[in-house]
Structure 1
């Protein structure tokens, strides 16, 4: 009996515990001032405290909201004026990309081979991410992972890894787009990653950012285990919500954004890791987003694979009495951007402050 008790105690002590850090529109929206935040925010283009209010960059009128480039008027929307489905793949666009970017449609060579391509060391994902960006001012200093403004920076949905960048639906990758939003190479094969020259001695493989045609197709990919943390889709959610299920196989920062189609409409985001709820983000007047840091240690404790589930619900406050008669359904764009392990090749700034949440489970 004593031996069994010892074994049980040791198993409990050795039990894997995940410790996840994250930020969200909820935690930043509740900031009243910038006290207790490190590094300090003093030198910004304008008063640093203005940026944390709902009428500024993180609010519903900012670039993450319905009026920004990720909204219905932007270049990757599902509307007829969007170039994501048509314009980029007509005319002499392929000729232009081959001449300017040095594209090579060959499975054994880098698809983006120009030494100064957007994904190279000369771009915003190069060493300037560490050596230049943090030193411009205190606003950009907080654009590395879990910084106060990281969601607006290079590893967020507005950066080169997101829908507006070279990996997205209007990106400089030279791949055609199928009717369901997958990328197809010249051999007719579906491609989910692309290799680009980073410097003279290194090529890097990046995840392509897909704009999928429907939530149903996203669910099909999820069930087959082919849904990563780099895509967008237009959908409709009611007060009961709908789920997105993905698998995380590498340490990274993951940014999740829900952009409403109507200005000022609000959604609720609930995020689960291995079925444990780690955050519920619902902050009026702020476009809902969450950024999570999944460390190498977290992955190892979970057998190098984590299940990520995101539930998106409409906010009942936007529907009022109508809910008793009709479902509170609202349209939105869902974005998720994974930074990749490559963007952890050098340490990020160790941010501190009440806006950073820590969950252990």
Structure 2
């Protein structure tokens, strides 16, 4: 009897590992076999000594937690979801920590883990839509922020060797947040629009950081700038339309997202112009860009609308310098 029981437990453990590696849902919390499944995962991780494999396994198990949460909500077992989502956040953090370690395989695994985390956004959005309580919404919000922050951190990591791929990655995340905002408006659930607008800003900021990384390494700086310019040009058109559809409380957040997008577009276009027409004025360069690829610059009608929404740039105060006595005096401007 003991041998049979041991064999059954062993089979359960093996099946749990197989489920996790293939990212199949398997047993759910509330099932008597679920603890065996989780114990199998713990053993699997404990006996995985290669950092590349371990980081990928943590990312796979994290995705498995999302699939479990999704299945639990479908079965009206939402009471188990908060704990599952908290465990997801822990596993995401651990996957990113290992992937970000400075060893010989860090750059290799950082892209794999980042891609896996990015792919989680669709499930996270669906889980968020299905949540009904504020407590559960808070847990999902925390999980989404962890996913965003860790995936963007890893994008900057692999940007050192693959800046073009990293830039495409960052703007793709930004794109998912714009699409999420549009979906919220269609479903008339706009309370989380400000949060998604802020996430968009973070993704675009990383896209600009990757552009700086590319310039510093003299690696595909123009290609990265073209990716950022094309993406932000499209985003500005969408966000300017979204602005008119969101409640007043969300409008400042959309405006800030638009400002981030416009800043990213301006910087990217400057890089492109520096490569295309280093001796030309920016206006002449923009005219040249419009002849070759209009997707880098928003249409004039969009720019006009953006400028109507965004406040004019603030006039910088005249700089001061301290005298020996501590009094503040104006610095004369040079003519």
TM-score, normalised via structure 1 length: 0.26
Give the structure, 1 or 2, with the largest relative contact order (CA under 8 Å, sep 6 or more): 1
Structure with bigger helix share is 2
Write 1 or 2 for the structure with the bigger share of strand: 1
Larger Rg: 2
